[in-house]
Amino acid sequence: MTDQQQPLIEIKQVIAGYVPGVPILNGVDLTLAQGELVGIIGPNGAGKSTLLKAL
* Cα(44)–Cα(20) distance, integer angstroms: 21
Closest CA to 3 of 37, 33, 29: 33
* Cα(45)–Cα(49) distance, integer angstroms: 9
Predicted TM-score (pTM) of the model is 0.77
Domain extent listing, the chain: 9-54
pLDDT given for residue 12 in this prediction: 98
Task: Give the length of the chain.
Answer: 55
- Could you report the per-residue pLDDT of 5-55, keeping only the tens digit for each? 889 999 999 999 999 999 999 999 999 999 999 999 999 999 999 999 999
